[in-house]
Structure 1
Amino acid sequence: MECDVCGRVMWRWPMLPGLWEEEIWSCSWCHAATHVGGEWFEVARPMYLPVGMRWERAVADGLPDNVSHAFGIFDTTLCGIQEAGMSPSKYWWLPERENACGACRQAAGVIDDRWPQAMRGENARVSVARRP
């Protein structure tokens, strides 16, 4: 699948079969996501979010408590630390906090810059609802 934000190839998340068959596709360049299937949409494309609202704080046994890292994808922080079983927490990663990882902050800024201004509007990404 091609990313509608930057045009690069997206990759499919491995998913376990469930009640609502849904595929999640992500772009490793701009980190845009596209959800295909599911209960409510055939294609759902979440809109652009600013850096302070886009990333969850990473949680893993091997991460230090005194540094806040942003969860990227597949058990990896935005700065590249990989720990088995890493997951996003239920809390936002806030880049402006004093204990925010500087390398995660830099990576988040680079990823944010990859989103064209035209794709940042509320209605810039088109979702297609299932027809009854």
Structure 2
Amino acid sequence: MGGEWFEIARPSYLPMEMRWERAAADGLPADVSHAFGIFDMTLCGIQEDDMSPSDCWWLPERENACGACREAALVIDERWPQAMRGEEARVSVARRPGAR
């Protein structure tokens, strides 16, 4: 920041198949692919203390993808405004005089 202008940065839009990693934890079944969300939790709400994102993308179109994770991912994706999905989707805001 500084100067007369600054940019409010937003994370850029990513398609669902590039947004989440597959969740990895000892307590998760190996035959179902869950999306890693935040706070040691999958998008569908499973929480494990040792959960972490794996090195693999979570792919919602795969047959073994968790249906509840897919539903949550769709809800999240639908909330992202269409106008804010481009690479140039940033907002420049004028600095107000006297603002620090």
TM-score bracket relative to the smaller structure: 0.7 to 0.9
CA distance in 1, matches of 2:11, 2:85: 11
Residue in structure 2 matching 1:109, options 74, 89, 92: 74
Could you say which residue in structure 1 is the equivalent of 2:97? none
The Cα of 1:92 is off from its aligned counterpart by: 0.2
Distance 1:60 1:87 in 2: 7
Find the residue that maps to 2:54 and give its secondary structure.
strand
Partner letter of residue 122 of structure 1? E
Corresponding letter in the other structure for 1:103: A
Partner SS for 1:57: strand
Distance of 1:44 and 1:74 partners within structure 2: 23
* Equivalent residue number for residue 21 of structure 2: 56
Using structure 2 for the length normalisation, give the TM-score.
Answer: 0.79
Task: Determine which structure has greater relative contact order: mean sequence separation of CA pairs < 8 Å that are 6+ residues apart, divided by chain length.
Answer: 2
After TM superposition, what 4+ stretches of structure 1 lie above 2 angstroms from structure 2? 43-46
Structure 2 residue aligned with 1:67: 32
Unaligned runs of 5+ in 2: 1-7, 93-100
What are the ranges of 5 or more consecutive residues in structure 1 without an aligned counterpart? 1-42, 128-132
8 Å CA contact retained: 1:57, 1:68: yes
Q: If the length of structure 1 is used for normalisation, what is the TM-score?
A: 0.61
Report the equivalent of 2:95. Answer: none
- Identify, as 1 or 2, the structure richer in helix: 2
